[in-house]
Amino acid sequence: MILITGGARSGKSRFAEQIAEKRGGDVLYIATSAVTDTEMAERIRFHQQQRPAHWHTFESHRDLGDVVRLKQTEFPTIVIECITTLITNLLFDMAGETEPEAMDFTAIEEHILAQITELADAAQHCETEVIIVTNEVGMGIVPDNLLSRRFRDIAGRVNQQLAAAADDVYLVVSGIPVPVKTSA
């Protein structure tokens, strides 16, 4: 399992795609984004245009461990983009329209971490290379609102869990991948 992290527009997606391209063969691209507005639709369209046309896309943010287990024999490489979007979607799946002050962040985080544990376990024990893309959200200022602070906390713990499980971890800075952890 390879984990690629970095800031927004750092080049992490492109680096993940380059690794997948070098491996050759069919690639399953698991997209965790959902179209929530026109701006998000444009972002998704941009990413779709960047990927090779022959890649297979699966759109979901739930039970990705099961997806990896089911698809591992069909594809030599699976790319999952992006964990922080997955976290956002899982958070709002559970919280719905609840105001942040009334959200049960403990239950939400437990649910998200259970999903990530299943994903990491599947990625570690499958026949294919799994490349996971996530955002590094802990290098900026402390957010000024409860929801953003809790999201950052959950994302930070998720990223730590994935990094611990990964064979290789890269931090992409201004388009340059910096190895953080390597299996070699």
Would you name the residues annotated as active-site residues? 47
- Measure Cα distances from 104 to 34, 98, 111, 112, 114 in Å: 23, 10, 11, 12, 16
Q: What distance lies between CA 124 and its chain's CA centroid?
A: 15
Contacts of 160 (CB under 8 A, 6+ apart): none
Task: Look up residue 35 and give its amino acid.
Answer: V
Strands of 27-31's sheet, edge to edge? 56-59, 27-31, 77-81, 129-135, 2-6, 168-173, 176-181
Compute the distance between CA of residue 75 and CA of residue 135 in angstroms, rounded to an integer. Answer: 25
Instruction: Report the sign of the C-alpha dihedral through residues 149, 154, 156, 157, in that order.
Output: positive
E strand residue ranges, 49-167: 56-59, 77-81, 129-135
